[in-house]
Structure 1
């Protein structure tokens, strides 16, 4: 999260920030995560220097655009951690995969191969931590094979999401097929 959130901001700063986020979310949903940052700035009615003052990098912009979806997934994992370990893990993996498929660019942000080092609060980190709690419960209950790791399942969900971008129904179906191989 930006350090700027720790201190009060002027109303024009907040207005520009919100406008940049809204425009970025719309363009990413339409064009994907590689959308031109210059285009985001132009359509938000600000200069590229203003965009870069608000977001130090493309990754920072993507992280903030996807923050609400990732937070919803984190809360859902916590809810599912109270029930049956197998059902909780399956349900959450289906929801993660369909959300990442439906939210253009999110799967790329979750991709372990492209995840940049962070301070622990990136989309990737939050999703991985949420999944780890569910995987640990499933391992403790011996409902999944012991060699299955959180990173294995995150890679699987990410791959399915990338392959089915904009098709969450197919994403759910494919993750169910793939999950048949993890059960103990």
Structure 2
């Protein structure tokens, strides 16, 4: 078995992350060095804040204070609020980044692994992705209400990632043809968001799900 991508590979994918407004090119053109430096600093702070929010939400839940996120990122609270005026803005940025990275894992799996190991790797990656949502589900629902298209577009993108991986495996004849990406999301997600499922039990159940994807004789 080819081991699933590590957390570092999953978190460090090459997929482009959301670009903070401060990091966009100056529409007037030809910015001087100081302006470029300010935009670079703003971009770094934005990325540090999103990464810090991942850590803090996983550790303390979605109700963690904004001060805790700023402290984890090593920036002032004022810097945090310049990028994310409301907590829900930060939650949305974290979620969008997660979806970007999950989509990148699918592309990486297809590019670098054989069809069946790619299915295993992406299924494990999806489990990690979904598990991180357990601690801030309430905040995510609020983000979906604030931005109605956030859930539908993200769901569509995740569907595409699943179908990229399983479609290739189906064409290779190593995965049953009556399974869709939506099916697998419904199978795997409950293992990750249900607090009653232990890590050990979740690992065993996921192995059962993966084994059940092989074609029947």
If the length of structure 2 is used for normalisation, what is the TM-score?
0.57
Show the counterpart of 1:50. Answer: 82
Show the counterpart of 2:168. Answer: 137
* Residues 1:41 and 1:108: Cα distance change in structure 2 (over 3 Å): closer
| Cα distance between partner residues in 2 of 1:166 and 1:87 | 25
Cα offset, 1:137, TM superposition: 2.1
* Residues 1:164 and 1:69: Cα distance change in structure 2 (over 3 Å): farther
Kept after mapping to 1: 8 A contact 2:106/2:161? yes
Kept after mapping to 2: 8 A contact 1:94/1:172? no
* Residues 1:63 and 1:86: Cα distance change in structure 2 (over 3 Å): same
| Cα distance between partner residues in 1 of 2:174 and 2:53 | 41
Task: Give CA deviations for 1:6-51 in whole Å, capped at 9, x if unaligned.
Answer: 326625534542442243122112023x234644566452247424
| Cα distance between partner residues in 2 of 1:15 and 1:135 | 35
* Residues 1:18 and 1:95: Cα distance change in structure 2 (over 3 Å): closer
Show the counterpart of 1:94. Answer: 124
* Residues 1:27 and 1:150: Cα distance change in structure 2 (over 3 Å): same
Kept after mapping to 1: 8 A contact 2:116/2:174? yes
- What is the aligned-residue RMSD (CA, Å)? 4.2
Secondary structure of the residue aligned to 2:92 is helix
Show the counterpart of 2:193. Answer: 162
Secondary structure of the residue aligned to 1:135 is helix
Kept after mapping to 1: 8 A contact 2:175/2:214? yes
* Residues 1:128 and 1:28: Cα distance change in structure 2 (over 3 Å): same
Q: Does 1:7 align with 2:38?
A: no
Kept after mapping to 1: 8 A contact 2:20/2:46? no
Cα offset, 1:150, TM superposition: 0.8
Cα offset, 1:151, TM superposition: 0.8
Higher Rg of the two aligned structures: 2
Kept after mapping to 1: 8 A contact 2:175/2:213? yes
Show the counterpart of 1:147. Answer: 178
* Residues 1:37 and 1:51: Cα distance change in structure 2 (over 3 Å): farther
- In structure 1, list runs of 5 or more residues that go unmatched: none
Kept after mapping to 2: 8 A contact 1:145/1:183? yes
Show the counterpart of 1:77. Answer: 109
Q: Does 1:23 align with 2:52?
A: yes
- In structure 2, list runs of 5 or more residues that go unmatched: 1-17, 27-35
If the length of structure 1 is used for normalisation, what is the TM-score?
0.65
Cα offset, 1:63, TM superposition: 2.9
Number of aligned residues:
175
